[in-house]
Structure 1
Amino acid sequence: MNTIEAIILAIIEGLTEYLPVSSTGHMIIASSFMKIASDDFTKLFTIVIQLGAILSVVVLYWKRFFQSLDFYFKLLVAFIPAVILGLLLNDIIDELLESPVTVAISLIIGGFILLKVDDWFKANEIYDEQNPEAHTKISYATALKIGFFQCLAMIPGTSRSGASIVGGMTQKLNRKTAAEFSFFLAVPTMFGATAKKLYDYYKAGFQLSSDQINYLIIGNIIAFVVALIAIKSFIDYLSKKGFKIFGYYRIVLGIVLLIIHFFIYRLTTV
C-alpha cells in the first residue's frame, strides 16, 4: 500500500460507512482493483480506519452519549451478538474479505431488499398524534434484535448500517430513529472490531512499520472528516426520500462487478 491508495480507501470509507451500500464491500472492490486486497496490512487498514468514521458519530451526537446509563446498556445488549458471532466466524469472515464475487452478490440481494423497504414499513413513518414517540422508543428487546440483524453484515457487501437500520424498522422504528441507533451501535462494534484485528495482526507475528502507522493515522483522519459530511447528508435524504436510490445503486454496481469478474477480467487474463 502507498499513500495514494490509503487516501482513496479512506475517502471511500468515510463516504460509505453510514450509507446502506457496504463500506467494507466498496473497500474490497477498490483494493482488488489496486491489487492489494489480499495483503494482510490492507485487511487491517480497512477495519481500523472505520474507527475514524465512527468517531464522527461521537462528535455529531455527543449530547446523546451523556443522556443516561440506559443508553449504554442498550448499546451493549445490541453489541453482544456481534461479539459472539464475530469470534466464532472470524476465519470464515477473513476468507470472505478477499471475495469480490461475494460482495457483488450481497450488493444485488441487498439492493432488491432496499427497493421494497419503504413500502414494507411505510406505517413506521406515520405518527400517532396522541403518542408521538411511539415510533422512536427502543426497548432492550428491540436493541438485541437489531444486534442480530447487524451480524448479517459479517457477509461482505451486506452493509452494517443497512442491516441494522432495516432491523430497527422491523421493530416499528421510523427511518430516522433506526438510522441514528445504527450509527450509535457502530461505536462499540467498530471499537471491538479494531481491537480484535490489531490483536490478531500482532499475534500472527506482524509488526507495523512507521509508514504503515502513518497510513493508519492519515486514513482515520480522512475517514473522520468525510464521514462528518456524509452522516448529515444521509439522515436528511433518508428522512425525506427513503432507500430506493441506494437499492438501485447496489443492484447496478453488483451486476457491473459480476460482468467485470466473469467476462472482462477473465478475458484479459487468458
Structure 2
Amino acid sequence: MDHSLLVIMLLGIVEGLTEFIPVSSTGHLLLAGELLGFNSASSATFDIVIQLGAILAVVVLYARRFTAVATGLVRRDPQAIRFGRNVVLGFLPALVIGALAYSSIKAMMQTPMVVAVALVVGGIAILVIERRTRAVAVTSVEDMPFRTALGVGIVQCLSMIPGVSRSGATIMGALSLGVDRRTAAEYSFFLAIPVMLAATAKELWETRNALGDTDWTGIAIGFVVSFVVAMLVIRAFLAIVSRHGFAPFAWYRIVVGTIAILWLALR
C-alpha cells in the first residue's frame, strides 16, 4: 500500500467510529476507500486487520468482566459457564459460514454498490424491528438461553454481506429474540472478539504469499487510531442506545446509503 499517512489515519478513524454501531464498519471502509482512492489489492487486508484495534478496545473496557469470567470458568461457576457457552454459540455459525463462503464474501467486498444498497435496506430493517420488538425476557448475557444465543449467531451471518453490519445484525437479532437493548449491544461487543480474530487469521492465511508486500507500518498506525477512537465510541454508543434506541443509526444508514447509490451511479 502506498498511501499517505492522512488517508491511513482517516480510515482508522472510520473503523473506530463504526465498528460497534449498527452502520457497518466494513461498508464504510469500502466506501471511504473508494472515495479516497484506497482500493489496492492489499486494502482488504488493511481493512480487516485494523479492526483488531477496535476489538482491543472491548478487551480493555471489559477487562474486569473477562477476568471474572475466566476465574469463574476455572471454579466452574454456573454464571461464567453460561457466559462462555453463549459467546461460543453466537460465534459458531459465523465460523462455519465464513469458512464455506470466503470467496463469495471476498468478491462482494470489491463491490461498493452492494454496500450502498445494504446500508439502505439495513436501515429500513432496523426501523421495522425497533417498532416490532417483543417483550424483554433477557437482561444479561449470562441469562441468555442457548437457543437465543444460537439464533443471534445465525442472524449475525447476514453481516457477511458488506454493508449489512455485524453489530447491526447481532443487535437486531437479539432484540427480535427478547433481549434488552444494552445486553444486545454488549453481546455484540463480546461476539466481535472471536469473529474478528477468526476473520483476521483467515485473511492472513489466504494472503500469506503476498504478506511481504504488505505495509505493516500503515496497518499499525490504522490499528492504533481505530483502538483510540473505539474506546471513546463504545460508552457513548451505550448511552445513546439507552436513551434513544437505534432509530438514529437507521436514519443515518438510509441517508448515507442513498447518497452512496447516487454517487456510484453518476460518477
Same fold (TM over 0.5): yes
Q: Which amino acid aligns with 2:117?
A: I
**Residue 119 of structure 2: aligned partner:** 107
**Residue 10 of structure 1: aligned partner:** 12
Query: Structure 1 vs Structure 2: percent identity of aligned residues?
Result: 40
Equivalent-residue separation in structure 1 for 2:84 and 2:35 (angstroms): 40
Give the drift of 1:36: 2.6
Give the drift of 1:134: 4.5
Where do 1:219-234 residues align within 5 Å?
219-234=222-237
**Residue 28 of structure 1: aligned partner:** 30
5+ long unaligned stretches in structure 1: 125-132, 266-270
Deviates more, 1:24-33 or 1:70-79: 70-79
Q: Does structure 1 residue 187 correspond to structure 2 residue 193?
A: yes
SS of residue matched to 2:42: helix
C-alpha deviations, 1:141-195, integer Å up to 9, x for none?
Answer: 2111111111111000000000000111122100000000010000000011111
Q: Does structure 1 residue 252 correspond to structure 2 residue 260?
A: no
Of residues 175, 198, 204, the one that matches 1:198 is 204
SS of residue matched to 1:158: coil
Where do 1:130-209 residues align within 5 Å?
134-136=138-140, 137-202=143-208, 205-209=209-213
- Is the Cα–Cα contact under 8 Å of residues 134 and 177 in structure 2 kept in the other structure? no
C-alpha deviations, 1:85-142, integer Å up to 9, x for none?
Answer: 1111111111110111100110011111122232211633xxxxxxxx8533212221
Where do 1:16-165 residues align within 5 Å?
16-37=18-39, 39-66=40-67, 67=69, 68-69=72-73, 70=81, 71-121=83-133, 123-124=135-136, 134-136=138-140, 137-165=143-171
**Residue 129 of structure 1: aligned partner:** none
- Is the Cα–Cα contact under 8 Å of residues 10 and 219 in structure 1 kept in the other structure? yes
- Is the Cα–Cα contact under 8 Å of residues 129 and 176 in structure 2 kept in the other structure? no
Q: Which amino acid aligns with 1:41?
A: S
Q: Which amino acid aligns with 1:159?
A: S
- Is the Cα–Cα contact under 8 Å of residues 117 and 243 in structure 1 kept in the other structure? no
C-alpha deviations, 1:26-85, integer Å up to 9, x for none?
Answer: 000011112232x22110000001111011111111122132432223211211111111
Aligned residues: CA RMSD: 1.4
Shift of the 172–229 alpha-carbon distance from structure 1 to 2, 3 Å rule, reads same
- TM-score, normalised with respect to structure 1: 0.89
Q: Which amino acid aligns with 2:61?
A: L
Equivalent-residue separation in structure 2 for 1:122 and 1:169 (angstroms): 7
